[in-house]
């Protein structure tokens, strides 16, 4: 399209340049802020990894299986046991732990930011419809790779940059579904709660959030799944984990290890999905 520039009367607006300028401005004046974020994320990811790697893999597998049993079913526990043992036997345990740590930390941060925004968007509907929604559309449709670039600039290559890109990419579903869940609370229920003299806080904590919980959990599930897919992509900027195994297999056109790493991602994905889903069912999805 750039070649057509001379033919058109519409002047070229340097959006790209502008964005560059913003990023370098942020880098220059808010470097300290990014440094803090950097430390927080790095520390959390590292400590997660440290704990998971400190325990013998079999112990971790057993713990996850028990968790799956408690939250889900016997079969989920069996699946977790077999799946994780398979990852271990493929010698991908460390990579999987790296990935898991990154997914969990990124998701947690995405939820901590996303759920309050979702609540706010539901409470202030105009703010929700006119500001939050377009921003979410932007965040979800912008190609995931694009997030990697400013993330590298602001945080340099590595797990933190990967985590930041993941947070941005994975946040929209939980914001949307929190917003939706709260708006879907029937108006007569809201009226009844108000007519009994509830304060705004009581309405939110005792009525809206509990009723919206199943929907919010669906959003949490989506966010965690998106986080996993993004963490794999983030290996391109040195986030480590299973993604880098996939990437190195790709660069060597090595089918075997590539498939193994891919399979490990699938196993993680299914486990995370089933476990978060049973969490939402536990919280009154019926």
218 lines the binding site for other proteins (CB under 8 A)? no
For 241, which DSSP code? S
String of contacts with other proteins for each residue 73-102, x by CB under 8 A: ------------------------------
CA 216 centroid distance within chain: 14
Buried b (16+ CB within 10 A) or exposed e, 268-282: bbebbebbbbbebee
Residues in the interface with other proteins (CB under 8 A) total 19
196 lines the binding site for other proteins (CB under 8 A)? yes
CB nearer to other proteins: pick between 1 and 188: 188
11 lines the binding site for other proteins (CB under 8 A)? no
> Which span sits near other proteins by CB under 8 A: 18-26, 87-95, 187-195, 254-262?
187-195
123 lines the binding site for other proteins (CB under 8 A)? no
Q: Give yes or no for a contact between 254 and 245, defined as CB atoms under 8 angstroms apart.
A: no
Among the listed residues 84, 148, 161, 207, the single contact to other proteins using CB under 8 A: 207
d(CA 28, CA 122): 35
Among the listed residues 133, 194, 269, 279, the single contact to other proteins using CB under 8 A: 194
CB nearer to other proteins: pick between 119 and 211: 211
Q: What are the C-alpha distances in Å from 83 to residues 16, 198, 264? A: 44, 48, 8
Exposed, middle or buried: residue 2 (CB in 10 Å: 0-12, 13-18, 19+)? exposed
Among the listed residues 55, 192, 250, 266, the single contact to other proteins using CB under 8 A: 192
CB of 280 to other proteins, least distance (A): 14
CB of 273 to other proteins, least distance (A): 25
7 lines the binding site for other proteins (CB under 8 A)? no
279 lines the binding site for other proteins (CB under 8 A)? no
211 lines the binding site for other proteins (CB under 8 A)? yes
Among the listed residues 210, 238, 257, 262, the single contact to other proteins using CB under 8 A: 210
Q: Determine phi and psi for 193, rounding to 5 degrees.
A: -65, -40
CB of 191 to other proteins, least distance (A): 6
For 238, which DSSP code? T
188 lines the binding site for other proteins (CB under 8 A)? yes
Q: Can you list the positions of beta strands (E) in 136-231?
A: none
CB of 54 to other proteins, least distance (A): 40
189 lines the binding site for other proteins (CB under 8 A)? yes
126 lines the binding site for other proteins (CB under 8 A)? no
The encoded tokens of residue 139 equal 């965040």
Exposed, middle or buried: residue 71 (CB in 10 Å: 0-12, 13-18, 19+)? middle
CB nearer to other proteins: pick between 85 and 202: 202
Helices (H) and strands (E) in the chain, counts: 14, 0
The encoded tokens of residue 65 equal 């299986």
d(CA 241, CA 263): 13
- Count the neighbouring beta carbons within 10 Å of the beta carbon of residue 189: 12
Sequence-distant (≥ 6) Cβ neighbours of residue 24 within 8 angstroms: 153
**Which residues bind to other proteins, rule: CB under 8 A?**
186, 188-189, 191-199, 202, 206-207, 210-211, 213, 284
């Amino acid at each position: 399209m750039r070649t057509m520039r001379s033919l058109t009367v519409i002047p070229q607006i340097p959006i790209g340049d502008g964005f560059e300028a913003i990023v370098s401005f942020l880098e220059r004046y808010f470097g300290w802020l990014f440094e803090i974020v950097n430390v927080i994320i790095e520390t959390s990811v590292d400590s997660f990894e440290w704990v998971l790697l400190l325990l013998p893999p079999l112990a971790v597998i057993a713990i996850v299986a028990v968790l799956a049993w408690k939250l889900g079913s016997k079969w989920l526990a069996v699946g977790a046991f077999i799946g994780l043992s398979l990852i271990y036997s493929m010698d991908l345990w460390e990579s999987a732990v790296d990935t898991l740590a990154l997914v969990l930390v990124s998701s947690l941060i995405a939820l901590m930011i996303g759920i309050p925004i979702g609540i706010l968007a539901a409470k202030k509907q105009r703010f929700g419809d006119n500001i939050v929604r377009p921003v979410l559309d932007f965040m979800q449709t912008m190609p995931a790779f694009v997030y990697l670039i400013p993330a590298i600039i602001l945080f340099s290559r590595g797990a933190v940059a990967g985590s930041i890109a993941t947070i941005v990419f994975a946040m929209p579903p939980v914001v949307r579904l929190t917003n939706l869940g709260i708006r879907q609370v029937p108006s007569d229920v809201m009226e009844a709660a108000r007519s009994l003299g509830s304060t705004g806080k009581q309405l939110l904590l005792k009525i809206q959030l509990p009723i919206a919980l199943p929907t919010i959990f669906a959003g949490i599930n989506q966010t965690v799944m998106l986080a996993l897919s993004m963490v794999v992509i983030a290996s391109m900027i040195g986030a480590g984990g299973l993604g880098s195994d996939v990437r190195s297999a790709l660069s060597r056109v090595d089918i075997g290890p590539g498939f193994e790493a891919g399979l490990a991602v699938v196993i993680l994905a299914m486990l995370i999905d089933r476990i978060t889903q049973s969490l939402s069912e536990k919280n009154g999805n019926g």
